Structure 1
Amino acid sequence: MKANEEIPKTDAEIKNDVLEELEWLPDIDETEIGVIVEDGTVTLMGVVDSYIKKVAAVKAIKGIAGVRAVAENIDIKYGNAYKKTDKEIAKAAANALEWNSSIPAGKIDITVENGWVYLTGEVKWKHQKHAAKKAVENLLGVKGVNTNSLIIEKTVQPSEVTDQIVKAFERSADIEAKGIRILVDGHTVQLKGRVHSIKEKEEAEKAAYKAPGVREVKNDITVQFYPVYS
């Protein structure tokens, strides 16, 4: 076999890696989650007793080499002793946002419907939006968090955006910077190239959003497999 020639994993191999990863995760009963793999797309099914377990399972699977996409159909069902009313969840979410110093005060509104938390408003940075989501998704009774209406308002003009993003890539242990190309058009950054996992692709997007002046990131990075040398 020629050097640098890539051997794709079979769906069976990917499924085995997914099952092993689920078994490795703490606090997750892998027998509660079913796995289907088709052409590198992993579908997760089943029932767990907290939203954070669902998030942890999906995040872990995205880091597996060969996984091209993840579709989750995992339901959340709390036991009677852990059920919370929407009012109780809303109050806890408000407190969680207030206590998080990285989230601007008074900028985010909270609505809760049937256990789903909807965050609306405006923040200046992508990491603030992410922090708001993280702050409420661990709360007891939460079935999901929707941040689609939480808008990022950039006030800083782009300056040397490409250099800053490249440096961010180089600082990250989770990103192979040499496989990624960066194109800047006004406030929009387009990422191209190849990486080896969905996690690496998502980390690159997160890093690009942190650059001053960036309002939109078009993530056209392709997920491919690790090369095997012989």
Structure 2
Amino acid sequence: MKSDTQLQTDVIDELNFEPSINAAQIGVVAKNGIVTLSGCVNTYSEKWNAERATLRVSGVKALAVEMEVTLLGLSKRTDTDIARAAESVLEWTSFLPNKSVKLMVEDGWITISGEVDWDYQREAAADAVRYLMGVTGVSNNVTIKAKVASEVIKTDIEAALKRRASRDAQAIVVEVQGNNVTLSGKVHSWSERDLATHSAWCSPGVHNVKDKMVIS
């Protein structure tokens, strides 16, 4: 198990290694596997990338985000401009069925809603608007409308875990109630935990994934 000092150093090094982040603007504190990021960044995409980079580091059990997005100069956009740009990029996103996603913008924060068939389409919608200039945050309220039998979902997820995470597959328990999946058990890193949840989301018909896994 890493010490707090070692974990803090590893996160700082990972942030410095990520070219899309100005690590000098981000403060890092680690305590008992919980990492807190603070400071101000100039774009929401930089904030998002800092979060993703931190979660890649071995030993990170949880992440607290206290960063703020402070737009400078030409980066500022009106909500109308952001809405117009977001609507256009969603229309041009090949993964999304036409007119399947709606959006609302308030103080630079984009909220998307609607229904799609797959989780990758739901994520594609958020990815499409996340990097637009002037965006301060994204809430993804898009839902999945496909319906599949619970036993089929459970079988698909367990098979995917064996293919993708053989080390942890036997230690992960999959419970399915309707279209809701709960994952519990132990994994060895946040990346393996993320891989398990991604495997669950890839199964058709899954509406919600509850992560109760513990990093050992």
Question: In 2, are the aligned partners of 1:159 and 1:212 still within 8 Å (CA)?
Answer: no
Aligned-partner residue type, residue 219 of structure 1: D
The answer to whether 1:69 aligns with 2:83 is no
The answer to whether 1:96 aligns with 2:89 is yes
Q: Percent identity?
A: 37
Work out the CA distance in 1 between the residues paired with 2:202 and 2:215.
22
| Matched residue, 1:11 | 4
| Matched residue, 1:179 | 171
| Matched residue, 1:52 | 45
The answer to whether 1:197 aligns with 2:189 is yes
Work out the CA distance in 1 between the residues paired with 2:132 and 2:210.
31
Question: In 1, are the aligned partners of 2:150 and 2:177 still within 8 Å (CA)?
Answer: no
Aligned-partner residue type, residue 38 of structure 2: M
The answer to whether 1:214 aligns with 2:186 is no
Report how far residue 179 of structure 1 moved.
3.2
Rg larger for:
1
Question: In 1, are the aligned partners of 2:103 and 2:112 still within 8 Å (CA)?
Answer: yes
| Matched residue, 2:144 | 152
Report how far residue 50 of structure 1 moved.
1.2
Work out the CA distance in 1 between the residues paired with 2:167 and 2:82.
36
Report how far residue 159 of structure 1 moved.
4.8
Please, which runs of 5 or more residues in structure 1 have no aligned partner?
1-7, 225-230
Work out the CA distance in 1 between the residues paired with 2:206 and 2:20.
37
Q: Tell me whether 59-68 or 75-84 shows the greater mean CA deviation.
A: 75-84
Work out the CA distance in 2 between the residues paired with 1:212 and 1:94.
27
Q: Secondary structure at the match of 1:102?
A: coil
Aligned-partner residue type, residue 10 of structure 1: S
Report how far residue 181 of structure 1 moved.
2.2
Question: In 2, are the aligned partners of 1:33 and 1:46 still within 8 Å (CA)?
Answer: yes
Q: Secondary structure at the match of 2:205?
A: coil
Instruction: Give the structure with the higher percent helix.
Output: 2
| Matched residue, 1:167 | 159
Question: In 1, are the aligned partners of 2:20 and 2:49 still within 8 Å (CA)?
Answer: no
Report how far residue 175 of structure 1 moved.
7.8
Would you say how many aligned residue pairs link Structure 1 and Structure 2? 216
Q: Secondary structure at the match of 2:90?
A: helix
Question: In 1, are the aligned partners of 2:182 and 2:211 still within 8 Å (CA)?
Answer: yes
Question: In 2, are the aligned partners of 1:175 and 1:203 still within 8 Å (CA)?
Answer: no
Question: In 1, are the aligned partners of 2:54 and 2:60 still within 8 Å (CA)?
Answer: yes
Choose which of 180, 183, 186 in structure 2 pairs with 1:188: 180
TM-score (norm 1): 0.86
Aligned-partner residue type, residue 98 of structure 2: A
Work out the CA distance in 1 between the residues paired with 2:85 and 2:44.
15
Please, which runs of 5 or more residues in structure 2 have no aligned partner?
none
Question: In 2, are the aligned partners of 1:174 and 1:200 still within 8 Å (CA)?
Answer: no
Aligned-partner residue type, residue 11 of structure 2: V
